Structure formats: C-alpha cells, structure tokens
C-alpha cells in the first residue's frame, strides 16, 4: 500500500516520467499514435514548479518511488493532473489522490473542482463523484486539440463529499 505526501519541486522529473508512461499505455486505445507522440514529447508546463511549491500536489509512493501523483490549481480549483503508473493502476490510488486533492480544495474553501478528462480517465473521475458537463476538444499547449470530457464536482462546506475510507481496498472489477 503506497504512502502519500505533499509533492515538492524535486519530484517534478520523476512525476513527469510517470505521466509519460501512463499516457503511452493508458491512452493508447483512445487516441491516435500521432496525438500520443505529441503529448508524450511535451515538457512540463511552466506553471508546474509553482503548483508543486504551493503545496497543491500529492505524490503516492512505494519504497520511495513515485507510483502516482495529482496536482491542483489551488486558486481556481482546476485539477491539473492525476496520473498513476500503469503497473499500479486498478488499486484505488487515483481515487485516493483525488480524495486528497478534494480535501486540499475544501481547506481552501473552493466551491468546486473541475478538469478536462482524457477519454480513458472519465470512469475514474465518475467513481470519484465528478459529473460530465460536456465533450470538448481541449486545446493542449503543444498545439493539438485533444478529445476530452469537461467534468466538475461541487464541493460542500465542511466535507469533501467523497468517502476516502472506502479506498483501502481495490475497486470492484465488473
């Protein structure tokens, strides 16, 4: 079972490498190879070091090795990233990371979380209580338009609205 901690700028390279592997494997059935090549070649956004430094990112790690991470824009409520290493997927790590971001957002009194979900990730976000708002072509900073689903989750005061205690066991596989 991984442990969770706040990410630091020292985690950026390892998290970006994890993100690239997750995209290559997790998105392969949902996007053309040319699109994935562009996404995987893109460097971290210029805002990423600042978001990590602001304490709005969580790393899941096992034996000191990152197995997942999530990043929140603590000012707007946008979930900037949630990635789990391919070999660690299906164990509830993504849901646990989302629950922790939600707690951060609630602590900052944000009214909602929102994101543009890759097509392969929509079911995970739905399990975490996010609702589909619309399908969209998300303008990625690399210059491509990525088919995605804009999703949001309204937050209630005093509660994250998501029961993280149910995450100690893997989700049902139907």
Residues 32, 146: Cα–Cα separation, whole Å:
10
Contacts of 109 (CB under 8 A, 6+ apart): 157
Backbone phi and psi for residue 142, each to the nearest 5 degrees, phi listed first: -75, -10
Among 60, 57, 116, which residue's Cα sits nearest to residue 84?
60
Over the stretch 65-74, which tens digit does the pLDDT of each residue have?
A: 999 999 999 9
At residue 124, does pLDDT exceed 60? yes
At residue 169, does pLDDT exceed 50? no
Per-residue confidence (pLDDT) for residue 157, from 0 to 100: 61
Model's pTM, two decimal places?
Answer: 0.88
Structure tokens of 6? 């706040």
Per-residue confidence (pLDDT) for residue 142, from 0 to 100: 86
Classify residue 91 by its DSSP letter: S
Q: Which range among 41-45, 63-67, 134-138, 166-170 shows the weakest confidence by mean pLDDT?
A: 166-170
Contact 96, 4 (CB under 8 A): yes
* CA end-to-end distance (rounded Å), the chain: 22
At residue 57, does pLDDT exceed 70? yes
Per-residue confidence (pLDDT) for residue 53, from 0 to 100: 87
Over the stretch 89-120, which tens digit does the pLDDT of each residue have?
A: 999 999 999 999 999 999 999 999 999 999 99
Residues 114, 110: Cα–Cα separation, whole Å:
11
């Amino acid at each position: 079972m991984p442990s969770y901690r706040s990410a630091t700028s020292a985690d950026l390279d390892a998290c970006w490498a994890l993100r690239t592997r997750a995209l290559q494997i997790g998105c392969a059935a949902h996007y053309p190879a040319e699109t994935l090549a562009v996404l995987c070649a893109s460097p971290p956004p210029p805002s990423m070091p600042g978001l990590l430094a602001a304490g709005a990112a969580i790393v899941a790690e096992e034996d000191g090795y990152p197995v997942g991470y999530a990043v929140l824009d603590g000012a707007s409520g946008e979930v900037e990233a949630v990635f789990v290493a391919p070999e660690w997927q299906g164990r509830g790590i993504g849901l646990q990371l989302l629950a922790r971001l939600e707690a951060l957002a609630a602590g900052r009194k944000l009214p909602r979380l929102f994101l543009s979900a890759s097509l392969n990730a929509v079911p995970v976000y739905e399990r975490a209580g996010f609702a589909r708002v619309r399908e969209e072509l998300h303008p990625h900073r690399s210059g491509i338009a990525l088919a995605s689903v804009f999703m949001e989750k309204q937050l209630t005061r005093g509660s994250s609205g998501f029961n993280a205690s149910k995450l100690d066991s893997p989700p049902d596989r139907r």
